Chains A and B, each alone.
With several copies, the nearest count.
Chain A
Amino acid sequence: MVDEDIKLIGKDGIRRDGRKFDELRPITIEAGVLKRADGSAYLEWGENKVLAAVYGPREMHPRHAQNPSRAVVQARYNMAAFSVPDRKRPGPDRRSVEISKIMSEALEEIIFVEQFPRSSVDVFVEVLEASAGTRCAALTAASVALADAGIPMSDMISSCAAGKIDGQIVLDLGKKEDNFGEADVPLGMVTSSGKITLLQMDGNLTLDEYKKVMELAMNACREIYQIQREALKKRYSTSLEGYEDIEDTEEE
């Protein structure tokens, strides 16, 4: 991954896109953006644009895949053909199959699956524009969509990556940094408990570097959690407004 000619961090310690080592790209989240889905969220994270929709709990099809004692969580991560510089062929590839699997597992941890035997909770994430860090963006958006759908959950999951570029530990690698950096560690965290529900790593890190990476990523997850909460609060107040409107109408 190392390319000697490319400098990702300036002498002033500032990254190519102007960020400091521990700075996130701008993140905005909007909950409840789709009408048909039971819950949804739209998230922009730097140049990443991600839409998440939740259906369920609903009767699982096909029946033979039902679990008689709990709900099955099925996440589907999908990239739009136009979401990357070189057009992607539509349909699942090995990368998206893997990400769908680890997202499903991560989300299952926080959902009260025992309450919904024989059901499925389906989470669909569409990556409309991709620019490094889409699995963290997807998992973060999916958590908000699940909450928007009113799925009983023990907590939220927030997700962010940290890694190493030019020998330095930095938070939330951008596209160039991901391509030419030395290590990337996507983390998914159950925010209140600090427990790890998604963790991958590739590249090259000493144990000390790993510790620094995790510190950065875990702090960032807490920061992202606040953005998730704000999105839900805003959605909740909007819903209430809508509710009041209806009451007004009824009073007339």
Chain B
Amino acid sequence: MKELISRITKDYLFRLIKEGKRLDGRDLLEHRKLDINTGWIGTAEGSARVHLGDTDVIVGVKMSIGEPFPDTPDKGVMITSAELIPMASPKYEAGPPREDATELARVVDRGIREGHVIDTTKLCVTKGEKVWLVFLDMHILDFDGNLFDACGIAAMAALMNSEVPAETFDLGDNYKLPIGHVVIPTTFYKIKDQIMLDARLEEEMIADARLTVGTNEKGELVSMQKGLSGVFEYEDTISCIEKSREIGDKIRALLKDKV
């Protein structure tokens, strides 16, 4: 992707970054404006649309009854998928890169799964036979960088907004999807030895390395993913984790208001 940005823009960005500045005047460790709208989609069990600057994503949750995995007979099952639809970017013309969508879906999935966001033990109907399946589908509508955070936050919000559709399946009254923890991902980008938060598309295109850190409301680390071909120092990862906990708390507070 690095080739799709002109040399002049690149040089300009590098100069700015060396001075600790950014295209849109933000500080290096400042998030863009975050907008969260939940309950948007009537056909979904839960939904959230998130604007992170000009990045615009929508996550919908659907639930149905299915079989549990043999090794977790009393737990619900979550299935995550991401579609980088060609609407979102002129670069997706010939179809977006499949491995990008796969990595995105899997990183969001791990944050939720390993962070025990959904209390899957409360999603068992008949042990070993019937459990709730939770489908989490992410659509990228407008792509201006940092899909990891936008989708991770939207997924969290959509789950918090979800209702288990028990009535549809003759299983009693609907109830709120049981939430165990509130996990927020924060993504850092390294460009020319500077570390910045929440890159826009142009910044993402020249980034050397990427680090996504997910933390929960106790400040615990629940997921990490390093990406791109550049490297991080061990010390970088420590400061990213510390910053992620701080930002995570702010977003968790915002989510509490919104959902």
Contacts and interface: CB of A to CB of B under 8 A. Distances in A.
A–B direct contact (CB < 8 Å)? yes
B33 to A, nearest CB: 13
Contacts of B219: 206-207
B58 A185 contact: no
A14 interface: no
B74 interface: no
A195 interface: yes
B135 A81 contact: yes
Q: DSSP class of B's interface residues: helix, strand, loop or mixed?
A: mixed
Contacts of B94: 61-62
A122 B232 contact: no
B54 interface: yes
A218 B233 CA distance: 12
B172 interface: no
A80 B137 contact: yes
Interface in A17-35: 34-35
Most buried by B among A83, A100, A122: A83
Contacts of A47: 42-43
Interface of B: 3, 40-44, 47, 54, 56, 58, 60-62, 64, 81, 83, 85-90, 93-94, 98-99, 102-103, 105-106, 110, 113-115, 135, 137, 139, 141-144, 211, 219-234, 236-238, 241-242, 245
Interface string A44-73: 000101010101001001100001010001
B144 A199 contact: no
Given A34-B56, A195-B232, A205-B221, A84 B43 contact: yes
B139 A97 contact: no
Contacts of A95: 106
B81 A203 contact: no
A73 B228 CA distance: 12
Nearest to B222: A204
Nearest to A76: B86
Contacts of A200: 224-226
Contacts of A243: none
Nearest to A188: B226
Given A58-B93, A199-B226, A207 B241 contact: yes
B221 A82 contact: no
B106 A87 contact: no
Contact of A101 (B58, B81, B103): B103
A214 interface: yes
A248 B192 CA distance: 37
Contact of B226 (A124, A198, A206): A198
Interface stretch (A5-13, A103-111, A166-174, A233-241): A103-111
B209 to A, nearest CB: 9
Interface in A89-132: 90, 94-95, 97-98, 100-102, 105-106, 108-109, 122, 124, 126, 128-131
Contact of A196 (B85, B114, B142, B226): B226
Contacts of B61: 82
Interface of A: 1, 34-37, 47, 49, 51, 53, 55, 58, 61-62, 67, 69, 73, 76, 78, 80-87, 90, 94-95, 97-98, 100-102, 105-106, 108-109, 122, 124, 126, 128-131, 185, 190, 193-207, 210-211, 214, 218
Contacts of B44: 82, 129
A82 B99 contact: no
User: Lowest 3 A-B CB distances belong to which pairs?
Assistant: A82-B60, A201-B224, A202-B114
Nearest to A124: B87
Nearest to B215: A207
Given A82-B41, A101-B103, A201-B221, A214 B234 contact: yes
Most buried by B among A82, A131, A207, A214: A82
Contacts of A61: 93-94
B89 A202 contact: no
A102 B225 CA distance: 9
Contacts of A34: 56, 87, 141-142
B137 A81 contact: yes
A51 B87 contact: yes
A203 B110 CA distance: 9
Given A97-B98, A129-B42, A199-B211, A204 B86 contact: no
B229 A105 contact: yes
Nearest to B113: A202
Contact of A35 (B110, B113, B139, B142): B142
B88 to A, nearest CB: 6
Given A85-B43, A203-B222, A55 B110 contact: no
B221 A204 contact: yes
Contact of B231 (A62, A190, A205, A206): A190
